[in-house]
Structure 1
């Protein structure tokens, strides 16, 4: 199954999600990868990761780009040669790409019980409105993680910490959006955030 979902949060921004059902060979055969991309995918030990990497290249094609249009800076942040902003994610059987005229970040996460074990590592302020007794506790934690991961991808600055530098304003799951802040080195940055769930996964993305 190729393209799974298209979301347009504003006129300058598009999100595309791919459900990865194809085999490695089916994903690889139509692609023209740069030598370093080919080396990277062949070096991956997990076929799941290989298929995730390749599905992202199919999403690029759906946007009208090729692997040659994509490059990474020293912090591992992806860029497009035409100057548009891009962020990339893949998790198990889903991948996602967001392209915009302004800076963006995206993350897809599988909703799993084990996120409760690591909550203290990425949640601080948000504990003020979270409750472990809430039936949606895992889903809300996953949204917060996804938003903070998206912020981290957008800002791409070594030394930033999810727990200390990122804040997610209280939200309702059915609203699908909230506001997040980066508070870093005496500067504050405000971002619009969006989230949705499908098939046990949460997709979050941030826009300026």
Structure 2
């Protein structure tokens, strides 16, 4: 089974990434899914989404959890029954899970030119240091989106907007980390975040 990467972020936090190479049947066969999880996966029209969903359950097994240990709240945020924090992501042929004693968020995105078209929808302050003519422009945009998405998953608060409430300070791609701020309803929150690139994808996550 292709566990692609395991990252020990700190003593309380681990990231695991799965490269989805198996067929739907190969992923489905070893799993024991809850009835509502089975209903969800069977109701998905895209086999890509089905395989992403199932690969996350394989990642849970890598952490010694099962599908029965996972549940979602009314905002769609995942939780573990033992109280540890979890965040989940999947994009095309990769999925990722981060688990920690503290609140976390993770996101994986494919690096695609189309992100440049929608940049003005999620970027404001960051345009001050981005160079649209740079060969790194798309990669940096993907990092910014991933960092903001990770923070949004951590907060899971309806009404938060990437462009207005999230800010990513300048960074170099070789740094593999940056600082992000949330400015929401008169309160400011500072977070250390990390990112890595592989096979044309970017993974970003919040460091607790």
TM-score (norm 2): 0.99
Q: CA deviation at 1:116?
A: 0.3
Q: CA deviation at 1:133?
A: 1.1
Q: What's the counterpart of residue 193 of structure 2?
A: 193
Q: CA deviation at 1:2?
A: 1.6
Q: What's the counterpart of residue 47 of structure 2?
A: 47
**1:96-175 paired onto structure 2 within 5 Å:** 96-175=96-175
Equivalents in 1 of 2:116, 2:200: separation in Å? 16
Q: CA deviation at 1:134?
A: 1.1
Q: CA deviation at 1:207?
A: 2.5
Given that residues 129 and 170 in structure 1 are in contact (C-alpha distance below 8 angstroms), is that contact kept between their aligned partners in structure 2?
yes
Equivalents in 1 of 2:124, 2:206: separation in Å? 20
Given that residues 105 and 154 in structure 1 are in contact (C-alpha distance below 8 angstroms), is that contact kept between their aligned partners in structure 2?
yes
Q: What root-mean-square deviation, in Å, do the aligned CA atoms of Structure 1 and Structure 2 show?
A: 0.6
Given that residues 148 and 166 in structure 1 are in contact (C-alpha distance below 8 angstroms), is that contact kept between their aligned partners in structure 2?
yes
Q: CA deviation at 1:122?
A: 0.2
Given that residues 193 and 206 in structure 1 are in contact (C-alpha distance below 8 angstroms), is that contact kept between their aligned partners in structure 2?
yes
1:31 alignment partner, SS class: coil
Give deviations 1:53-112, integer Å, cap 9, x for gaps: 000000000000000000000000000000000000000000000000100000000000
**1:23-38 paired onto structure 2 within 5 Å:** 23-38=23-38
Aligned residues: 208
Equivalents in 2 of 1:97, 1:9: separation in Å? 12
TM-score (norm 1): 0.99
Equivalents in 1 of 2:49, 2:192: separation in Å? 29
1:102 alignment partner, SS class: coil
Given that residues 96 and 106 in structure 1 are in contact (C-alpha distance below 8 angstroms), is that contact kept between their aligned partners in structure 2?
yes
Poorly superposed stretches of 4+, deviation over 4 Å: none
Q: CA deviation at 1:15?
A: 0.2
Equivalents in 1 of 2:126, 2:8: separation in Å? 27
Equivalents in 2 of 1:203, 1:61: separation in Å? 21
Equivalents in 2 of 1:190, 1:72: separation in Å? 26
1:65 aligns with 2:83: no
Equivalents in 1 of 2:86, 2:10: separation in Å? 15
Give 5+ residue unaligned stretches, structure 1: none
